[in-house]
Amino acid sequence: MKKILFTIFMVVSSLSYAQQLKSPNGDFSMEFSLLKDGTPTYKLEYKKKTLIKESKLGFELKDDEKSLLKDFTVEDTEATSFDETWKPVWGEVAEIRNHYNELAVHLKQNETDRKMIVRFRLFDDGLGFRYEFPQQENLIYFVVKEERTQFAMTGDHTAFWIPGDYNTQEYDYVESKLSEIRGKMDKAITPNASQHPMGGTGVQTALMMKSTDGIYINLHEAALIDYPAMHLNLDDKNLIFESWLTPDARGDKGYLQAPFNTPWRTIIASDDARDILASKMTLNLNEPNKIEDTSWIKPVKYIGVWWEMITGKSTWFYTNDFPSVKLGETDFENATPNGTHAANTKHVKEYIDFAAKHGFDAVLVEGWNVGWEDWFGKSKDYVFDFVTPYPDFDVEEIHNYAKSKGIKMMMHHETSGSVRNYERHLEDAYQFMNDHGYTSVKSGYVGDIIPRGEFHYGQWMVNHYQYALEKAAEHKIMVNAHEAVRPTGIRRTYPNLIGNESARGTEYQAFGGNKANHVTVLPFTRLIGGPMDYTPGIFEMDVSKLNPDNNSHVNATIANQLALYVTMYSPLQMAADLPEHYNQFLDAFQFIKDVAVDWEDSKYLEAEPGDYVTVARKAKNTGNWFVGNANGLEKRTSKISLDFLDAGKKYEATIYADAKDAHYKTNPQAYIITKKTVTSKSKLKLTSAPGGGYAISIIEK
């Protein structure tokens, strides 16, 4: 690891409050200044073009006439430079360079003598900045009414956005001009999502934009710890975004105690969309790994008893006799099995057999534990205890059988939003996992948070997710949290956070949602903060074949579904469909079996948000590469060079591509598989159908 750290103290003239900072390569230039009334501001340039116009910084405090908005003077500034290379436990690359120039501006509010530091870090791919409150006599405990961080846009950019929401990111993305957000907001809110709480121009991060002169801009946050998630509210007359924090049940935005550091506010930008995907700035703004022994943290490829319940073919619950099952009752002698409960010993063994036969690591089972009747029966007092199985699920037999086959079992904890109940049972639940060989858990937070009034993205819940993650680390358990707050790079600090959902995943294809280009937007938005458990790999697109009452359709081709294992980066990849569907297309299924889940290197070959993404990744500790292309709504011919391969070597490329007549809606299962010898001098020309794509395995000879 290489580190360079030096400090230069700069004296700021009483006549000028402006201070500039440049990125290591000089492409970015940031200027901090104070307005005449002492309001802190910043602005940002990229390649000598204004990217963020003069934007205000500060906080409005609750029950305090003197908020931290103006009347500041600069006490001191400190400039540093930092350069290191670090190795993630898992990731898209084996090594990450963390190189930035930093400016820390020490501010004092004249009337109150309160102190605040604004720390800027300028990388070659963008800017991160945060607020710091040092220990001081005049500011100890305080309540945030609102953070007033601004991002002033230079024009009416095209944006890829979802509505601001305190509980969910499960929306389809809308592509529009900034000025059109208000007019499109009502149509963006779907019946399956929460009521939009922010009004007509509030959106969520990560927000992706493109200017008229071809600059790609991404706004997000990093290192969200002990603080509410940030949304963005747009002043659409002046095209200025301002931070809007998720409130708690009382409407307060944050309870802080100095010393305290906020999360980083991030601006990633480039004139090449591929640079947005390649950026590691979000990770670099998080603290280094805090888990000393990481030998138990391993990327996972898994199958699971899940899709059949999502589609309605099977059920999570053991009996339909909801009224006869009393709260807290674990004796089901008088209850009638419904015959469709999927998490039964015999059926789970079938999944274990399939996983073992095809080289998977683990099997997820949902609906294994008592309590689902109460939830589906609309009880207000859910009784999940996370250790009591249904009578048709033999925990010990499943454990021993999976172990004999070399398969790990993946735990499922649906909290139903009853967070205090989960925390009461958490130690026993994790110990139960240790005792029965479960090394990872998929946790869920479906429904309103209990206690009532708290939101999924508020400070209270952010602290819960962190508590569950750190407690899991104590038990050497990996966490895949669904319905949790969207990630902000914390997996660098706690690499046992191997996945999140926090966006519309494949399940929405079973609910009649997800436009065909959804997967060409997610890498630029949701995945900026960390990997997603998207659950790809659906081969049977007609959901009615699983459940005649469900007329939904998966808006993708089989080739597109294969590509997602490369384009939708995650160390946690599921083959989400049913084994019988894979048995119908074993030649295409071979790619899912072969593709890696941990990578030595990644190359972004083509990218345009909403249209297409083409990525090549080198499997860790091998010479093998895998390529994926996810295509949008229009048929497109992709031209790529294989110059990332080692010169002088030959490889066998197996290409899984859309057939000529393939189409996500009318002919999604049409694909062709070809093989050819390739080298670093090879170039490929492949056509992707609407909602289609291609996947390539490139194996060293």
C-alpha to C-alpha distance for 243 and 202, rounded to whole angstroms: 10
And the tokens for 297? 């943290």
DSSP state of 356: H
- Is the bond preceding 288 in cis, omega lying within 30 degrees of 0? no
Say how many C-beta atoms besides its own lie within 10 A of residue 96's C-beta: 16
Contacts of 189 (CB under 8 A, 6+ apart): 163, 171, 195, 196
C-alpha to C-alpha distance for 83 and 87, rounded to whole angstroms: 14
Pairing of strands 115-123, 260-261: unpaired
Determine phi and psi for 17, rounding to 5 degrees.
-115, 20
Residue 500's nearest CA partner among 435, 565, 444, 453 is 444
For every residue of 218-281, DSSP letters joined together read EEEEE---SSPPEEEEEETTTTEEEEEEPP-TTS--EEEESSEEPPEEEEEEESSHHHHHH--H
- Whether 342 and 308 have beta carbons less than 8 Å apart is answered as yes
For every residue of 608-639, DSSP letters joined together read ETTTEEEEEEEETTSS-EEEEEEE-SS-EEEE
- Residue 507 falls in the annotated catalytic set: yes
C-alpha to C-alpha distance for 435 and 400, rounded to whole angstroms: 12
Q: How many residues does the chain have?
A: 701
DSSP state of 287: P
State CA 444 to chain mean position distance: 15
C-alpha to C-alpha distance for 378 and 372, rounded to whole angstroms: 10
Check 147, 483, 501, 507 and give the catalytic one: 507
Contacts of 554 (CB under 8 A, 6+ apart): 506, 509, 510, 538, 540, 541, 543, 561, 668
Residue 685 burial (CB < 10 Å; 0-12/13-18/19+)?
exposed
- Whether 523 and 605 have beta carbons less than 8 Å apart is answered as no
* Residues belonging to the active site: 507
